[in-house]
Amino acid sequence: MVKELNLEPIARLVNYAAAGVEPRIMGIGPVKAIPKALKQAGLKQSDLELIELNEAFASQSLAVIRELNLNPDIVNVNGGAIALGHPLGCTGAKLSVQLFDEMRKRNMSGKYGAVTMCVGTGQGACGIFEFLN
């Protein structure tokens, strides 16, 4: 369809993974989803230039950042869901667009970024993207 509409893609979904933790510790599912997505993609955590980490509570982000030893300077560089909101049902799309926009501003062609979400009952998801232009 991209060719039909004479468009150029701005990013490529490299890999997507879902994983979870015990439901009683809901909110930190990305702790399992990020490494799973990276491993399946053949990438390392150090390959990520930017990360959009969804959170409903600040403690969730802090727990994921600490558990995975993420560089806080590349996480939610323009603010997270607490500051900007996370509309029900479109969190993934919103975070992906935020990631692509920031990668565009920084001229990060060929670089990788991640979009993560925590979901109720301990689930987590992570999409790894390569920015194309």
Helices (H), 12-78: 30-41, 58-68
**Number of separate domains in the chain:** 1
In a domain, 46, yes or no: yes
Find the CATH number of the domain harbouring 123.
Answer: 3.40.47.10
Q: φ and ψ at 110, to 5 degrees?
A: 85, 0
Domain hosting 77: range is: 11-131
Q: Tell me: the pLDDT tens digits for 14-31?
A: 999 999 999 988 889 999
Q: Tell me: the pLDDT tens digits for 62-118?
A: 999 999 999 999 999 998 888 887 777 788 899 999 999 999 999 999 999 999 998
In a domain, 3, yes or no: no
Report d(CA 47, CA 29) in Å as an integer. 20
* C-alpha pair distances (Å), 117 with each of 2, 56, 108: 27, 10, 23
CA angle 94, 95, 96 (to 5 degrees): 90
